[in-house]
Structure formats: structure tokens, C-alpha cells
Amino acid sequence: MNKTLLRICVPGITEADYQIRMLQMNQIKGVLPVAIRGEGEMTVYEYEITGLVSMKNKYRQDKITKEEMKKFLSKMQETIWDVERYLLNSNRILLEPEMIFEKNGEFYFCYMPQYDGTIRESFHKLMEYFVQWTDYQNIASVQTAFLLHKETMRENYSLTGIIESLSELEEKNRNIKVDKAITKAQTEIWDTKEDDAYQESTHTYDTEEHDWITRQEMGSKIMKETDNLWNPVKKFLNRHKRPRWGDWDGIYIDEEEL
């Protein structure tokens, strides 16, 4: 099976110190296997990258997500711990995008004993790439990338502190979502109560109005029937009353008149 190698040539000859022996004798988790040899006035590092893709190539087209950023931080932290467990210097981990590789969500790093940079500086520059690779249509990704970049601008930042800040941001966002959900639920409940109260009020109003109309109609009917009953009597009395007030001999009633 053919192997794919990343070949890096560095000026100067590296002596076979304990770092090289550690790399050759141990398979450190998260660190790419490497063969180191001298060629003339150069030291050649050959890292096996079969089946892997560099971050530079991966995010040339794709956008980096919040979850990928979180996973990268976690993997990087684990790799630093493992490197230091073998008494190696974590500042020798290369963090250039073309030197970090990925496969199935796992990240792999190159370790170079001759590298003279610092992981703090390298990580800050990498976070600038994260900002460029971020999907600006995704709020969570934007928040995460800018938080990481902002944290690396602090004078004494640490990877552990950055991960904690990211956790705090996630907790804050969760609380905001919960508060919004509660507010929405309360609003819906209030709207429901208002609808019920309105319907109840409308029903009560309609019932009372109907009862009032019914009473008025009944009263009018009674008054009409009363008038129909007493009108003949009043007419009769008017026809047979005496011309002088209070001078009554009696009343004669003709049955045909009633």
C-alpha cells in the first residue's frame, strides 16, 4: 500500500536528542508518525499523512462549524497533555493550517524538535484562520470564532481558560433560549386567558341582553293585553258617567255593551 508523506526540510543538522528518541520509540496520541534523518546540511522530517486532509484544504471550500471548533480545542488540549506526559515541549507542535490534519472528525499534529516558535503565538494565528473560515450565516459559529480570537489576544491566556470561556458562552446562550421559551409560553397562556375572558364576557353580555329584551317584550305584551281588557270598561264608564263631578245615582250596565 502506498503511503502519503509530508516532507519538511529544515536547515541545519539535528542531533539525536531525547525528543527524537521519544518520537521514534512511542506512538503519541494525536501526533503524526515521523521519520527524521539528515541530508547534507538539512534535517528532513517525513510525516505519514495517508488518508488525511489538511485543515487548509478542508476549509478552503467548507465552513468551520461551532462543533468542529470545540472538537479541535478538545483534541488539541489532549495532544498537549500527551506530549508533555512524554516530557516533550508542547511549543514544538506545529499549528499552521497546512500542518494540521483531519480524518473522520479527529485531528492530528506535527511535532518538530527544531521549531522555535511558541504555541501561544501559533494558536492566535490559527484563530485568525478560524474567523476567516466561519460561516457568517451561523450565529453560533460566529460567536465561537470571535470569542476564541478575542481570548487569544489576552496577555496571559491559556487553552483551559479559553475552553472555560466557551462553556460559559454556551451556558449563557442556553439560559437565553430558556428565558425566551418561558416568555413565549407565558405570552401564549396570557393570550389564551384573554381569549377565554373575552369569549366569557361576550357570552355573558349576549345572555344579559337577550334576557332584557325578553323581559321588555313580555312587559309590552302584558301591557297590551291589559289595555285590551280594560278599554271597553273605560269606554263604558265614560259614556255613562254623570255630567257633574261626584254626583252618582248608580250605574246601569247593558250586557251588549260589554
> Which cell goes with 234?
273605560
Write the CB contacts of 241 (distance below 8 Å, at least 6 apart in sequence). none
pLDDT tens-digit profile of 39-82? 989 999 999 999 999 999 999 989 999 999 999 999 999 999 99
pLDDT tens-digit profile of 127-143? 999 999 999 999 999 99
Question: Residue 118: is its pLDDT beyond 80?
Answer: yes
Closest CA to 53 of 126, 103, 109: 103
**CB-based burial label for 153 (10 Å; 0-12, 13-18, 19+):** exposed
d(CA 33, CA 24): 8
Closest CA to 34 of 203, 26, 11: 26
> Which cell goes with 136?
457568517
The torsion of the CA quartet 163, 165, 166, 172, rounded to 10 degrees, works out to 150
State residue 50's pLDDT score. Answer: 96
> Which cell goes with 11?
536547515
Q: Where are the beta strands (DSSP E) in the chain?
A: 5-11, 34-39, 42-48, 53-54, 93-94, 100-103, 106-111
pLDDT tens-digit profile of 224-244? 554 554 454 445 445 544 444
**CB-based burial label for 86 (10 Å; 0-12, 13-18, 19+):** middle
pLDDT tens-digit profile of 157-183? 999 999 999 999 899 888 776 656 566
Q: Which domains does the chain have, with CATH numbers?
A: 5-116 (1.10.510.10)
pLDDT tens-digit profile of 183-222? 666 676 666 656 666 565 555 545 555 555 555 555 555 4
The pTM of this model reads: 0.68
Sign of the CA dihedral running 119, 93, 31, 148: positive
pLDDT tens-digit profile of 96-115? 999 999 999 999 999 999 99
d(CA 140, CA 146): 10
Beta strands 53-54 and 100-103, pairing class: antiparallel
**What mean pLDDT is reported for the chain?**
81
